[in-house]
Amino acid sequence: MNGTVKYDLVIVGGGSAGLAAAVAAYDSGIRSILVLEKDKYLGGILLQCIHNGFGLHEFKEEMAGPEYAQRFIDQVKERGIECKTNAMVLDITPDRKVHYSSLEDGYVVVEAGAVICSTGCSERTRGAINIPGTRPSGILTAGLAQRYLNIEGYMVGKRVFILGSGDIGLIMARRMTLEGAKVLGVAELMPYSNGLNRNIVQCLHDYNIPLYLHHTVKEIIGKDHIEKVVICPVDDNLKFIEGQDMTFEVDTLLLSVGLLPNNPLLEKIGVRMHPKTKGPVVNEDLETSIPGIFACGNSLHVHDLVDFVSAEGRLAGKNAARFLNGGLGDDTAVIDIAPLNGIGYVLPSLTHLDSIDDTVLKFRVKQPYNNVYINIKVNGQSVKRLKKPYLLPAEMENIPLKGLELQAFAGDKMEMTVEVEES
């Protein structure tokens, strides 16, 4: 089928965000939809997340990752939405031509009315964090080890140390323990964990796996394969504290040191990128700086719960349909949105005066807080103030702006800020 074809909507990535987007676009009246997935199966990263706990918000039950994915695959199939697997998207142009290649179809250019990018995220690797020492085998990211074990059926090692307390690392600490490995510990550079509490408890405490907060890897020892890893505490400036080295004999070092939204195709065409999230800058409709190109899911910003990814995918699908059905109508006054004190990032980066009721702020705090207020201001004047008993960097916060009265500010240039206010 080499050549050019036309679809109203092309969705790049058939994981949790893309599938939810496809369903929502269909339910908003769009019939000409194409989902392109590079893997052999739909479902994305959920397929290797065999642990349970997915779906509490979406389906009011807890299920394993592949089961959660299947719910959305079924919804897509019930609607007869066209999906191509083994289809790698190579280019997205500013005028919304999507180039993909697959064994079945060859090289195809799709002229799309709208494009949704739901391309997920990638793990940061050893290169991203500059670990000193030799370069032996046996060092890999936690998600890669997860894929080897849960999909391919290979154990990557028997004596394991984990650097970084991200959720995938914690999940893999338990998973490898259950399969007979000895997990010697988890080191976290920060004084608090980046993982969810329930994973700290059920993946580490349950199996007596120590968590070394404010520690990191000082050296890796091993010629061909990793033999030892040296862990050292750090001070408040994240410098090694001398004389407190701990050496562990290991055959595996797993890295769980953060995820980065995966957007090479958007970066290539100059879509404006967000300095903090590393995903694209979007407005309240999840539209990027190029009209008709939308982003959602972990390629927009890294989520902690897949349920929120699905919800975001739906929003992108609904808005892509609005775009196709006559436009988003974002012609009222622009409100820029920026993070202030204590906030790592906030999405969307802008909204419009008439869309306030449909705008939901999503943000993360930079550090844990107890008994504080979230203060939302417009041009320095507080418009919403919420008491929060606790805030954690591992938990994304959602604040709907529904009902906020901002007409008084109309006419001026409007800037909304979000900040933590300690009492």
Partner 1 sequence: MKELICIVCPRGCHISVDENMNISGNTCPRGKEYAINEMTHPTRMITSTVVIDGMELKRLPVMTSAPIPKDRIFDVMEEINKARAKAPVKIKDVIIKDVLGLGVDIVATRNIS
Q: 87, 392, 416, 420: which one contacts partner 1 (CB under 8 A)?
A: 392
Block residue for tokens 């009246």: 29
Query: Nearest approach, Cβ of 88 to partner 1 (angstroms)?
Result: 19
Query: Nearest approach, Cβ of 164 to partner 1 (angstroms)?
Result: 19
Q: 275, 326, 380, 389: which one contacts partner 1 (CB under 8 A)?
A: 389
The pair of structure tokens assigned to 243 is 């004389």
178 binds partner 1 (CB under 8 A): yes
196 binds partner 1 (CB under 8 A): yes
Q: How many residues bind partner 1 (CB under 8 A)?
A: 32
Query: Nearest approach, Cβ of 167 to partner 1 (angstroms)?
Result: 13
Phi, then psi, of 416 in degrees rounded to 5: -100, 135
First to last CA, the chain: 64
Piece of the chain touching partner 1 by CB under 8 A; list 26-34, 202-210, 311-319, 413-421: 202-210
Query: Nearest approach, Cβ of 397 to partner 1 (angstroms)?
Result: 11
CA quadruple 352, 357, 359, 361: dihedral sign: positive
- 243's CB contacts (< 8 A; 6+ apart) are none
Piece of the chain touching partner 1 by CB under 8 A; list 211-219, 247-255, 379-387, 392-400: 392-400
Whole-angstrom CA distances from 175 to 156, 170, 192, 210, 313 are 12, 9, 22, 15, 29
Residue pair 258/272 in contact by the 8 Å Cβ criterion = no
- Print the binding letters for residues 203-232 with partner 1: x by CB under 8 A, - otherwise: --xx--------------------------
86 binds partner 1 (CB under 8 A): no
52 binds partner 1 (CB under 8 A): yes
131 binds partner 1 (CB under 8 A): no
Q: 28, 32, 70, 86: which one contacts partner 1 (CB under 8 A)?
A: 70
Piece of the chain touching partner 1 by CB under 8 A; list 19-27, 57-65, 116-124, 341-349: 57-65
Reported as type and span, the H/E element at residue 336 is strand 334-339
**What three-state secondary structure class fits 290?**
coil
Phi, then psi, of 102 in degrees rounded to 5: -145, 155
Query: Nearest approach, Cβ of 46 to partner 1 (angstroms)?
Result: 10
Q: Which of 395, 115, 367, 394 is nearest to 263 (CA)?
A: 115
Piece of the chain touching partner 1 by CB under 8 A; list 64-72, 100-108, 213-221, 233-241: 64-72
Question: Of 17 and 392, which has the nearer Cβ to partner 1?
Answer: 392
336 binds partner 1 (CB under 8 A): no
197 binds partner 1 (CB under 8 A): yes
- 237's CB contacts (< 8 A; 6+ apart) are none
DSSP letter at 72? H
**What three-state secondary structure class fits 28?**
coil
C-alpha to C-alpha distance for 92 and 179, rounded to whole angstroms? 42
124: number of Cβ within 10 Å = 17
Residues that bind partner 1 (CB under 8 A): 40, 47, 50-52, 62-67, 70, 149-153, 178-179, 196-198, 200-202, 205-206, 389-390, 392, 394-395
